[in-house]
Each structure stands twice: as structure tokens, then as C-alpha cells.
Structure 1
């Protein structure tokens, strides 16, 4: 019997409390999967998924449990194909389907933290009784009381961040990652009241169009800043699967790689339809954002990607589209990028351009780069280039 335990959480950030749960469960399983949530069930805001994955990977580097330990990004794939949260029952069902063929003697189990073991909390879990019937549950004891919210309070407080105080709650590598990427900095804007998905009432929801693309219509109300609720609003939304983009950067040569291809949207808007862009693609079933950009980099530019650095997640046009886009910076050897690429079956005709970072910023300044992902990625590079050169030292 090969026993895999699933520990799901926002991991926002991962704490020594999570470490204690892992250590308690490690003797019961051959492999523990750490699964960060892609979307909070109650609409709460979290750090971008890529940062939480990176923090978990930093956490794993500090541990040496008696079982294997892996970070799974399956929730990102599940969330990309649905507008609903990914519940624990859905996660376990998907993992069982994914892992079953690889392990003929698989026993999948759920690792439950002490907070969720509280009957008042557990009874609110989606299909809690069915989880208990279908999968064995390991419940960790409450031995220490470090919570992610404790770390966020320290990080978002008015005083300068006290690293030693953080290290009492979080593993050292996680603290280093947070401080290096300036995560959890307090907002410069006081948004009170601060609303989320619980402040929307959906009265009616219907599918208007169901082709290659999809369109839905909502009849809804939402809270008003001055109090009360709006009248019933009708809103149509264009549904798109999550996209992921990557800026290929060669720090040693101070170059980036751009791709040029035909875009029907630019043609319809009256722009030149041959656009200069960074590498990008749409998530496929069972694929993580990191796997996608590595695949697209090879298909579109013939590039192998080294380290992947999270840039941001954003909504390109939230007034009328559900599309979400996640951007990475990928470290590459630009000397291997050249020629014409693309999949013939998909009608792709992609030309590769290698330019210096200074040239790319000039193109940006001159308006020749006019799509959001490329603009955002290059502005991020301009802001972070000194840090990247220091941390990834291309001269070593």
C-alpha cells in the first residue's frame, strides 16, 4: 500500500504550525502533498498563487521528514476551469483520478489541521460526511498555535518588520522569501469597508452562448459604499480559461526574447495585427502555470527555461471578462532563440526577436509594445533588474 496524505491550505504564508502538522503526519504516509488553494472559498484575498507555491518550496528545503514531500499545483488547474472555489471533496476526487493510474495500490488520505477538526468548523466543510466515508483522515493535534494570520499582522503593521519576531512564527527560508519579494506590505489605501464575494447576491445566472468561447448573464445586486444594496443589475460576462505569460530574460547578455505573431483582436481594433509579445498560452487540463510557460517557451521560441520568478496576477478586462492572467519572468540563454516557430496544426506562425533590455524599454517608451502582459512584465523588469542581477549573479 502506497499512502499519500493531502494537506491543503491557503499557506498564506506557511508557518511553523504547518511544519508541526507535517511532522505529525509524516510517519503515517509515504508521500505528503502540500496543496495551496488557488481561490479562497469565501473570496478572501491572498498573495498570488505563484508566491505561495514558492514559499512552500522554500519551506520544503528546510525539512527532512521520514516521508517524501511535494508541492502540488493541481488547484490552479481546477480553478482555471471553474468560477467556483475548489472544495476539499473536489480536490481529493481530482487527485484520486490523477494519481490512481500511477499507483495501483494507492491509499489517498486527508490531513486535517487542528483548527478544521473543531466540529463547528468541520460541519461547514462541503460534503464533510462524504469525505469521512471515502478517505481516511489524519487529524493533527494542537501542539503549537502559530497561524498565518499572526505573521500577516506583523508584516502589515505600522512598525518596521522585525525579522526575529517573524522567525518565531515562520521558517527562516519563508521569512527570507517574503522580505526579498516585499510581500504582505500594508496597503497605502484605507479601503473601509472592504468588500468581497459575500457582498454580492446573484439572483439569476444563465449561459448565453456556449461555443469555443462562452458568455454568461447575471442578474445581481451588490452592496453600496454608502450602505444598502444596488437595484437589480444585468451583467454579461465573457468567460475565458486562465492564461499564463512569461518574459524570457538572459541576465548574462542583458537581453530579452520577444515573439511576433498575428492577433485577430488587434486587427478588429484597427491596430497592426502582428504584435510583439512575451511567451504566453492557455492552461490545459492537468497542467500547472509553470509547466505551461516552459512548454510554450519551447514551442514559440525554442527556449529552455531555468528559474521561474513570479511577477503578478491580474484581470485584463474585469468589466466584461473573467480572464485571469499570471506572469512569470523566466531566466534563459537567449543565444538559442532564433527563427520561426509555432504549431502548424494550430495555424501558428511565430517569429522570434532577441533584443537588449535597453532596446526593449525603448520599444515600450515609443509605444511599439502595446499589449498589457508585455508592458507589465517589462515595467516589472525595469523595477527589479538590480535585484535580479544581485540575486542571480550571471557572472558566477
Structure 2
């Protein structure tokens, strides 16, 4: 019997999805013994069994589920002359079913790498979502957003934009179900929306706070 994603290609052409983690030797207190693929419909859900050595020296057998959607990138577009930032608004089902009033989140432009470098990916996503071509974006940091269960590492960038220099209408890729609008906000208003909960997306909050503390809107 063959299994898509393991010994035959799945719908995205992947095989060997049960091998992730085997052979890791960076932490001698972790010994991975088994990786089971629970789902590989688009992203990959795995259950990994491993032995873990605790601080007092004893070993225990543990199991964890990990959700692998690939790494991603996000970018804060800013205009220091007008003191504005350019965000996106789109519907997010997971937020909607977990208490967000309408699921329409204000966010920085973002997307998965899909085989590109982080810089290439974020230039692509900025153009698709906002209609703005980005030259050389400034790397800010790369972080694990939900390390208890999601493998994704998100690469954060920032770059200036000009309202007069848009090269497209943005909006995302309609064929992929994207329906994205751009929202230009005064930077101070965006920070206030973080404080009152109107902006509730983690990556966006992180980039806005970076911009205020260390970035283009920091106060000397």
C-alpha cells in the first residue's frame, strides 16, 4: 500500500513527509523515534514521538503534533514624509470562528515563501496585495510565531512606499480566493488601534511597535 506524501507524491508533489526530524542532532536531550503524517492535504500535520531528557536527568517519552505550512514573510510599508503606513484588510476564517467580530483583520502584507527567498517572496506579496513594487526591503527580524505547535518561521521586513508610485491595484490573487483591500493609516492612529484592539494581528503589532521603538518613526 502506498501513501501520498510519503512514498508517492501528494497533490503538491511531495514525498518523504514522514522523515522530517529524523537525523536531527543539535540537541542531545532529544531523540526522535517516530514521525507519523496525519494530513497532507495542502499543509502537513505530523505527530512526532520522541524521548526527552529533563533537567533532573530522567528521560520521558513525549508526543507532539506539529503543523507545517512552510515559512513566510511580512512587510511594513511606511511613508515618513506623511507619517503613514499601508496595511491590508482581508477575511480570516480562523479568527472569525475564534471570537473576532467579523473576521476582517488589518494586517501588514504577507505570504508564504513558496520556494523563494524571504526577500523575493515579500517583494512578490507586496506587489500582489498592495500594488506597490518594493526595492530592497530592510530585514527586521525572523521569529517563530507559534512554536508550541506551528513550525513556521516568519521573516519581517520594512520598506518605504509612495502613494504616487503604485504600479498596480493590489487586491491579491483572485484565483486563489484572495479579496484584499489596502488601508492607509496615519502611523499614530495605527498605534492607537493596537491599544484599543482594532488591530489584533500579531505580526502587524510587532512591526508597528518596532517602527515606533527602533524603526522609521522612533523618536530621538
TM beyond 0.5:
yes
* Gap change, CA 1:277 and 1:83, over 3 Å in 2: farther
8 Å contact from structure 2 (residues 21, 32) kept in 1: no
SS of match in other structure, 2:135: strand
- 2:84 maps to 255
Structure 1 counterpart of 2:122? 293
SS of the residue 2:148 aligns to: coil
- TM-score normalised by the chain length of structure 1: 0.46
| 1:235-314 to 2 correspondences below 5 Å | 235-271=64-100, 272-285=102-115, 287-314=116-143
Return the alpha-carbon distance in structure 2 between the equivalents of residues 387 and 274 of structure 1.
26
Q: Which has the higher helix share?
A: 1
Tell me the distance in 1 between the aligned counterparts of 2:210 and 2:29.
33
Supply the distance in 2 between the matched residues of 1:339 and 1:364 (Cα, whole angstroms): 26
Matches of 1:301 and 1:278 in 2, distance apart? Answer: 10
CA distance in 2, matches of 1:387, 1:351: 24
How has the CA–CA distance of structure 1 residues 340 and 301 changed in structure 2, closer, same or farther, with 3 Å as cutoff? Answer: closer
Q: CA offset at residue 334 of structure 1?
A: 3.4
CA RMSD, aligned part only?
Answer: 2.5
Q: Could you tell me whether the CA contact under 8 Å between 1:307 and 1:331 is conserved in 2? A: no
Say if 1:351 and 1:197 are closer, same or farther in 2 by CA, change over 3 A. same
Alignment of 1:1-40 (within 5 A): none
In the other structure, the counterpart of 2:172 is 342
- Cα offset, 1:242, TM superposition: 0.3
Once the 2 structures are TM-superposed, how far is the Cα of residue 340 of structure 1 from its aligned partner? 6.1
State the shift of 1:262 in Å: 0.8
Quote the offset at 1:306 in angstroms: 3.2
Aligned residues: 198
Going from structure 1 to structure 2, the CA distance change for 1:83 and 1:250 (only over 3 Å counts) comes to farther
Q: CA deviation at 1:305?
A: 1.5
Aligned to 1:211: 41
- What residue is the counterpart of 2:191 in the other structure? 361
Q: Deviations over 1:341-383 (max 9, x none)?
A: 1211111111111111111111111111111110111111110
Counterpart position of 1:171: none
Distance 1:303 1:229 in 2: 55
Larger Rg: 1
Q: Report how far residue 229 of structure 1 moved.
A: 3.5
8 Å contact kept, 1:255–1:334: no
Structure 1 partner of 2:207: 377
TM norm structure 2? 0.81
Q: Secondary structure at the match of 1:355?
A: strand
* Counterpart contact for 1:302–1:336, Cα < 8 Å: no
Q: 2:58 and 2:171 mapped to 1: Cα distance? A: 52
Q: Secondary structure, in 3 states, of the residue corresponding to 1:203? A: strand
Report the CA distance between 1:386 and its aligned residue.
Answer: 5.9
| 2:156 paired residue number | 327
Q: Which has the higher contact order (CA 8 A, sep 6+)?
A: 2
Structure 1 unmatched runs, 5+: 1-81, 86-195, 391-396
Shift of 1:197: 2.9
